[in-house]
Homo-oligomer: A and B are copies of this chain.
Amino acid sequence: MLQTNQCQEIKCPIQFVVDLLGNKWSILVLRELFGGDRRTYELLAALPGISTKTLTQRLRELEAHGLVERRIYAEIPPHVEYSLTPKGHQIKPVMASLKEVGTQWLNQESCFCALTDDR
């Protein structure tokens, strides 16, 4: 098997990021946190369609990889805040370029969506 994951990684850095963030929600959660610290219910409200389960899963993953920090306030009712770590902030350029290209593409194709949009 030799899945030992030694330091000498054979992996492509792009693939590494895609494996971590290439799902339906991770990037959007991070986008939200770039707007400042957020409580759980705020994230739920800002991400229409996400379930508590999925949100928690994504947050735990991001936390495990050191991109997000979870701060718990000893209050009742419970109070939890999520924030970006310095490592999380490193994806800022990705965010910026995504926004840039997304904006370009929206402008280019928004006017014949009715014809071409198949998803």
Closest to A18 in B: B27
A residues contacting the other copy or chain, number (CB 8 A): 51
Residue in A7, A13, A109 whose Cβ sees the most chain B Cβ within 10 Å: A13
* Interface membership of A71, Cβ < 8 A: no
Question: Main secondary structure on chain A at its contact with chain B?
Answer: helix
Closest to A102 in B: B13
The verdict on A14 contacting B98 (CB below 8 Å), with A90-B105, A105-B87, A105-B90 known, is yes
* Nearest Cβ on chain B to A91's Cβ, whole angstroms: 5
* Interface membership of A75, Cβ < 8 A: no
List of 7 A-B pairs having minimum Cβ-Cβ separation, nearest first = A13-B102, A93-B97, A5-B113, A17-B102, A13-B103, A94-B97, A16-B102
A-B contacts, 18 listed (Cβ < 8 Å): A5-B113, A5-B114, A5-B117, A7-B110, A12-B31, A13-B98, A13-B99, A14-B31, A16-B106, A17-B101, A19-B119, A22-B24, A64-B116, A65-B105, A93-B97, A93-B100, A94-B94, A94-B101
